[in-house]
C-alpha cells in the first residue's frame, strides 16, 4: 500500500493531473475520518479513575517534607 501510494504521488507530481490531486485529497480525508472514528470507539484511559483519584490524594496525605517512592514502573510517572 505504501509503495502504491508513493508511486501515485510521484505520478501526480510528474503529470500534474488535477483529478489525481482531488482523488488524493479525498483518500486522505477518508483515512483521517476513519482514524478519528477508530480512536473514538476504542479510546481507553491509561489508568483507572480510582487509581488517579488515589494518586491525587497523595498530596493531602504526605507531608511537604515527605518523600513518595513509587515501586510500580507504570504508575511512577503519574505519581511524579
pLDDT in tens, 56-71: 888 888 888 888 888 8
User: Can you give the residue range of the structural domain that contains 61?
Assistant: 49-79
Q: What letter does residue 41 receive in the DSSP assignment?
A: H
| pTM, rounded to two decimals | 0.43
Residue 37 sits in the same domain as residue 12: yes
Residue 38 sits in the same domain as residue 54: no
Residue 57 sits in the same domain as residue 33: no
Residue 62 sits in the same domain as residue 34: no
Residue 74 sits in the same domain as residue 58: yes
Residues in the chain with pLDDT < 50? none
Predicted local confidence at residue 35, as pLDDT: 93
Residue 18 sits in the same domain as residue 33: yes
Strands (E), the chain: none
**Domain tally, the chain:** 2
Predicted local confidence at residue 63, as pLDDT: 87
Predicted local confidence at residue 5, as pLDDT: 78
Predicted local confidence at residue 54, as pLDDT: 87
Residue 51 burial class via C-beta count within 10 angstroms: exposed 0-12, middle 13-18, buried 19 and up: middle
Predicted local confidence at residue 32, as pLDDT: 92
Give the three cell numbers for residue 64: 511537604
Task: Give the span between the Cα atoms of 26 and 19, in whole angstroms.
Answer: 10
Amino acid at each position: 500500500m505504501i509503495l502504491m501510494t508513493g508511486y501515485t504521488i510521484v505520478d501526480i507530481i510528474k503529470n500534474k493531473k488535477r483529478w489525481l490531486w482531488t482523488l488524493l485529497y479525498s483518500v486522505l480525508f477518508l483515512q483521517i475520518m476513519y482514524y478519528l472514528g477508530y480512536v473514538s470507539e476504542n479510546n481507553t484511559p491509561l489508568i483507572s479513575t480510582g487509581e488517579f483519584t488515589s494518586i491525587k490524594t497523595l498530596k493531602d496525605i504526605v507531608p511537604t517534607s515527605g518523600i513518595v517512592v513509587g515501586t510500580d514502573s507504570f504508575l511512577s510517572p503519574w505519581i511524579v
